Amino acid sequence: MMYHNITKDDMLNGEGLRVVLWLSGCDHRCEGCHNPLTWDPDEGLVFDDEAKNEVFSYLSRDYISGLTLSGGDPLYVNNIDEVTGFCQVVKDRFPEKTIWLYTGNTFENIKKLDVMKYIDVCVDGEFVKSLHDNNLLWKGSSNQRVIDVKKTFMQGGNEPVLYCGDYE
């Protein structure tokens, strides 16, 4: 699996201060994408033990709320197995931290993937340039949803429960 960047202390890609892993590979190729450099699955750096340890070192900080997986698309076919394993390790090592996942897929199409049992919040759906709004919280276009995955599964998993954050 390849990645482009690890961002620490990020406030834009999920609630609280977060570590963001920007993965390579995306089939969606949305018009107006803010990160088209990540589309090519062969570009970037190898996500090796050194990179994993960098993420772990940031996650070990008390003020970090959790990990956000973005890209590209973390659920790109070349990424899914390694992303699933990595999320499991993160949850084992840092159970108090949340994992956010940004994907161009819809929740209905990915809810049965093994990785979803480790995800706390999923921002789903392709970015649609004509629906872009800078005032939207944690998403780029109004068709996308910020889904509370844990609550959705607790309520049977059929109807996505939208995430309200700390201001519920």
| E strand spans, 14-166 | 17-23, 45-46, 64-71, 98-102, 121-124, 145-148
On whether the CB atoms of residues 35 and 71 are closer than 8 A, the answer is yes
- Spatial distance between the Cα atoms of 44 and 22, rounded to a whole number of angstroms: 10
- Spatial distance between the Cα atoms of 97 and 99, rounded to a whole number of angstroms: 7
Mean pLDDT of the chain: 96
Torsion on CA atoms 28, 32, 34, 36, rounded to nearest 10: 50
Q: Please tell me the predicted confidence (pLDDT) of residue 107.
A: 98
Burial 54-78 (b: 16+ CB within 10 A, else e): ebeebbeeeebbbbbbbbbbbbbee
- Spatial distance between the Cα atoms of 122 and 20, rounded to a whole number of angstroms: 14
> pLDDT, tens digit, for every residue of 54-68?
999 999 999 999 999
Q: What total of structural domains would you count in the chain?
A: 1
- 45, β-bridge pairs: 3
Say whether 138 sits in a helix, a strand or coil.
coil
- In terms of residue numbers, what domain contains 27? 2-167
Closest C-alpha among 144, 90, 141 to residue 115: 90
Say whether 36 sits in a helix, a strand or coil.
helix
Say whether 96 sits in a helix, a strand or coil.
coil
Please say if the pLDDT value at position 164 is more than 90. Answer: no
Please say if the pLDDT value at position 106 is more than 70. Answer: yes
State the DSSP code for 77.
T
- Spatial distance between the Cα atoms of 117 and 111, rounded to a whole number of angstroms: 9
Q: Please tell me the predicted confidence (pLDDT) of residue 166.
A: 59
Q: Please tell me the predicted confidence (pLDDT) of residue 165.
A: 74
Please say if the pLDDT value at position 109 is more than 60. Answer: yes
- Helices 49-59 & 80-93, crossing angle to 10 degrees? 40
